[in-house]
Amino acid sequence: MSITQILFWILTVAALLSAIMVVSSKNPVHSVLWLVATFFAISGHYILLNAQFLAVVNIIVYAGAIMVLFLFVIMLMNLNKSAEPIKNRWLQIVGIVSGGCLLLVLVAALKNTEVAKNIAEVNTGDAGLIKTLGKELFTTFVVPFEISSILFLSAMVGAVVIGKKD
């Protein structure tokens, strides 16, 4: 067993355990912190796949900015046990049944997949490197890239206009 396989299994176990803790934690702040741990484990998988740019963007955008936003929202909502609405027993049963149906659909969709034939190339090639991504972005996909930048600029201008006080 190589070091890459060992790291893969360590990161996989860490990602699965922290994802389970996200769902099972009673405290919403603890759930957010476990979600940050999940994002770090997924970034480790990106590094193993030689996609360093995706790993860094995942850490900066998701584990950094989005999780800080979630923490601010949770703290502003001031969640506590006394203000929490009482959940109906039927609502819990409906949630369990719908989650089971989703699991059944996922298992049925993945039943006939061939995993042995689709082995990812680990730590080889240059598909995830920033140099390759930049070259593709500014040669092949330059027009969609520029159109999306104009779209983002117009969305920012619209947000400023809507949020501006009279």
In order along its 166 residues, the chain shows pLDDT tens digits of 889 899 999 999 999 999 999 999 888 888 889 999 999 999 999 999 888 888 988 999 888 888 888 888 877 776 665 666 677 888 889 989 999 999 999 999 888 777 656 565 655 666 667 788 888 888 898 998 899 989 989 988 888 888 777 6
In this predicted structure, what is the pLDDT of residue 116? 59
In this predicted structure, what is the pLDDT of residue 127? 67
* Same domain, residue pair 138 and 166: yes
Contact 128, 54 (CB under 8 A): yes
* Same domain, residue pair 48 and 107: yes
In this predicted structure, what is the pLDDT of residue 43? 94
Structural domain harbouring 148 = 129-166
In this predicted structure, what is the pLDDT of residue 104? 94
* Same domain, residue pair 134 and 106: no
Sorted by sequence, the CB contacts under 8 Å of residue 44 that are 6+ apart come out as 7, 11, 14, 55
In this predicted structure, what is the pLDDT of residue 22? 92
Distance separating alpha carbons of residues 54 and 43, to the nearest angstrom: 7
Record the tokens describing residue 155, joined without a space.
């969305």
Record the tokens describing residue 137, joined without a space.
């972005």
* Same domain, residue pair 118 and 54: yes
Distance separating alpha carbons of residues 41 and 19, to the nearest angstrom: 10
* Same domain, residue pair 81 and 137: no
* Same domain, residue pair 25 and 103: yes
List, in sequence order, the alpha helices (H) in 49-113. Answer: 52-57, 67-77, 89-110
- pTM of the shown model: 0.63
Record the tokens describing residue 101, joined without a space.
């149906």
Give the burial string for 19-44 (b: 16+ CB within 10 Å, else e).
bebbeeeeeeeebbbbbbbbbbbbbb
* Same domain, residue pair 97 and 15: yes
Distance separating alpha carbons of residues 43 and 11, to the nearest angstrom: 9
In this predicted structure, what is the pLDDT of residue 120? 59
* Same domain, residue pair 75 and 144: no
* Same domain, residue pair 24 and 40: yes
- 115 three-state secondary structure: coil
